[in-house]
Amino acid sequence: MTDAPQPDRRVNLPEVVAEITDIFERYEAALATKDVDVLDNTFWNSPHTIRYAMHENGYGFDEIHAHRVRRPAGINIKQERLKLVITTIGTDFATTNLEFRMPNGRTGRQSQTFVKFPDVGWKVVAAHVSTQEDKSLW
Protein backbone atom coordinates (compact mmCIF):
# COMPACT_ATOMS: atom_id res chain seq x y z
CA MET A 1 0.00 0.00 0.00
CA THR A 2 1.41 3.38 -0.98
CA ASP A 3 0.66 6.77 0.44
CA ALA A 4 -0.75 8.59 -2.57
CA PRO A 5 -0.89 12.37 -2.27
CA GLN A 6 -4.30 13.60 -1.22
CA PRO A 7 -6.06 16.11 -3.47
CA ASP A 8 -6.37 19.67 -2.21
CA ARG A 9 -9.98 20.14 -1.15
CA ARG A 10 -9.71 23.32 0.87
CA VAL A 11 -12.77 25.47 0.32
CA ASN A 12 -12.67 29.13 -0.73
CA LEU A 13 -8.99 29.90 -0.49
CA PRO A 14 -8.96 33.72 -0.73
CA GLU A 15 -6.49 33.87 -3.63
CA VAL A 16 -8.52 31.34 -5.65
CA VAL A 17 -11.80 33.14 -4.94
CA ALA A 18 -10.13 36.38 -6.10
CA GLU A 19 -9.02 34.74 -9.38
CA ILE A 20 -12.50 33.39 -10.11
CA THR A 21 -14.17 36.68 -9.14
CA ASP A 22 -11.92 38.54 -11.58
CA ILE A 23 -12.68 36.12 -14.42
CA PHE A 24 -16.41 36.23 -13.62
CA GLU A 25 -16.52 40.04 -13.67
CA ARG A 26 -14.56 40.21 -16.95
CA TYR A 27 -16.99 37.71 -18.46
CA GLU A 28 -20.02 39.70 -17.29
CA ALA A 29 -18.59 42.91 -18.78
CA ALA A 30 -17.87 41.08 -22.04
CA LEU A 31 -21.48 39.87 -22.20
CA ALA A 32 -22.70 43.48 -22.03
CA THR A 33 -20.32 44.67 -24.77
CA LYS A 34 -20.32 41.50 -26.92
CA ASP A 35 -16.57 41.09 -26.60
CA VAL A 36 -16.46 37.71 -28.30
CA ASP A 37 -12.71 37.30 -27.71
CA VAL A 38 -13.16 37.52 -23.92
CA LEU A 39 -16.31 35.39 -24.02
CA ASP A 40 -14.54 32.69 -26.04
CA ASN A 41 -11.40 32.86 -23.92
CA THR A 42 -13.44 32.20 -20.78
CA PHE A 43 -14.68 28.84 -22.08
CA TRP A 44 -12.76 25.62 -22.57
CA ASN A 45 -12.12 25.14 -26.30
CA SER A 46 -13.39 21.57 -26.38
CA PRO A 47 -16.22 19.55 -27.89
CA HIS A 48 -17.02 18.54 -24.29
CA THR A 49 -17.94 22.06 -23.17
CA ILE A 50 -21.66 22.69 -22.63
CA ARG A 51 -23.63 25.92 -22.28
CA TYR A 52 -27.38 25.83 -21.76
CA ALA A 53 -28.69 29.32 -22.43
CA MET A 54 -32.10 30.96 -22.61
CA HIS A 55 -32.72 30.24 -26.29
CA GLU A 56 -30.25 27.57 -27.29
CA ASN A 57 -28.14 24.68 -26.09
CA GLY A 58 -24.47 24.83 -27.00
CA TYR A 59 -22.83 21.43 -27.19
CA GLY A 60 -19.14 22.00 -27.74
CA PHE A 61 -17.08 25.15 -28.03
CA ASP A 62 -17.86 25.63 -31.73
CA GLU A 63 -21.64 25.78 -31.15
CA ILE A 64 -21.17 28.15 -28.20
CA HIS A 65 -18.94 30.42 -30.29
CA ALA A 66 -21.40 30.42 -33.22
CA HIS A 67 -24.18 31.63 -30.92
CA ARG A 68 -21.98 34.39 -29.49
CA VAL A 69 -21.24 35.68 -32.99
CA ARG A 70 -24.94 35.64 -34.00
CA ARG A 71 -26.18 37.28 -30.77
CA PRO A 72 -26.89 41.01 -31.16
CA ALA A 73 -24.83 43.42 -29.05
CA GLY A 74 -26.38 45.41 -26.24
CA ILE A 75 -28.67 42.73 -24.82
CA ASN A 76 -28.59 42.81 -21.03
CA ILE A 77 -31.07 40.56 -19.26
CA LYS A 78 -29.58 41.29 -15.84
CA GLN A 79 -31.25 44.36 -14.40
CA GLU A 80 -30.16 43.69 -10.82
CA ARG A 81 -27.90 41.16 -9.13
CA LEU A 82 -29.64 39.47 -6.24
CA LYS A 83 -27.07 36.96 -5.04
CA LEU A 84 -23.68 35.76 -6.24
CA VAL A 85 -22.13 32.64 -4.71
CA ILE A 86 -18.59 31.63 -5.62
CA THR A 87 -17.31 28.33 -4.29
CA THR A 88 -13.80 27.05 -4.90
CA ILE A 89 -12.46 23.64 -3.95
CA GLY A 90 -8.71 23.38 -3.84
CA THR A 91 -6.85 25.39 -6.46
CA ASP A 92 -8.28 23.85 -9.64
CA PHE A 93 -12.10 23.71 -9.34
CA ALA A 94 -14.75 26.38 -8.84
CA THR A 95 -18.40 27.22 -9.39
CA THR A 96 -20.19 30.53 -9.74
CA ASN A 97 -23.93 30.90 -9.20
CA LEU A 98 -25.74 34.16 -9.83
CA GLU A 99 -29.37 34.97 -9.15
CA PHE A 100 -30.58 38.13 -10.87
CA ARG A 101 -33.69 40.18 -11.61
CA MET A 102 -34.64 40.60 -15.25
CA PRO A 103 -36.23 43.75 -16.72
CA ASN A 104 -39.56 41.86 -16.96
CA GLY A 105 -39.45 41.19 -13.20
CA ARG A 106 -38.67 37.50 -13.48
CA THR A 107 -35.79 35.91 -11.63
CA GLY A 108 -32.90 34.56 -13.68
CA ARG A 109 -30.21 32.10 -12.67
CA GLN A 110 -26.76 31.51 -14.07
CA SER A 111 -24.15 28.93 -13.11
CA GLN A 112 -20.67 28.16 -14.35
CA THR A 113 -18.28 25.33 -13.55
CA PHE A 114 -14.59 26.22 -13.84
CA VAL A 115 -11.56 23.95 -14.07
CA LYS A 116 -7.97 25.19 -14.01
CA PHE A 117 -5.99 23.47 -16.76
CA PRO A 118 -2.17 23.40 -16.57
CA ASP A 119 -1.74 24.68 -20.13
CA VAL A 120 -4.56 27.27 -20.48
CA GLY A 121 -5.59 28.26 -16.95
CA TRP A 122 -9.16 28.69 -15.71
CA LYS A 123 -11.90 27.74 -18.19
CA VAL A 124 -15.64 27.23 -17.97
CA VAL A 125 -16.44 23.60 -18.81
CA ALA A 126 -20.20 23.84 -18.21
CA ALA A 127 -22.61 26.76 -17.93
CA HIS A 128 -26.33 27.34 -17.60
CA VAL A 129 -28.73 30.30 -17.76
CA SER A 130 -32.46 30.02 -17.07
CA THR A 131 -35.43 31.75 -15.54
CA GLN A 132 -37.24 30.65 -12.45
CA GLU A 133 -40.83 29.62 -13.03
CA ASP A 134 -43.70 31.31 -11.24
CA LYS A 135 -43.87 29.63 -7.83
CA SER A 136 -47.66 29.81 -7.83
CA LEU A 137 -47.70 27.08 -10.49
CA TRP A 138 -46.36 24.58 -7.99
CATH classification at residue 107? 3.10.450.50
* Domain enclosing residue 23, as ranges: 14-133
> Stretch 76-95: mean pLDDT, rounded?
96
Flag whether 129 is in a domain: yes
Flag whether 2 is in a domain: no
Going by the DSSP 8-state scheme, the letter that residue 43 receives in this structure is B
pLDDT tens-digit map of 22-61: 999 999 999 999 999 999 999 999 999 999 998 899 999 9
Q: Looking at the DSSP assignment, which residues form a beta bridge with residue 80?
A: 101
pLDDT of residue 134: 67
Flag whether 116 is in a domain: yes
- The overall average pLDDT reported for the chain is 94
Going by the DSSP 8-state scheme, the letter that residue 133 receives in this structure is P
Q: Taking the model in full, what pTM does it have? A: 0.92
Flag whether 4 is in a domain: no
Residue 137 has pLDDT above 60, yes or no: no
d(C-alpha 105, C-alpha 67), whole Å:
25
pLDDT of residue 74: 79
- Number of C-beta neighbours around residue 108 at 10 A: 19
Flag whether 9 is in a domain: no
How many domains does the chain divide into?
1
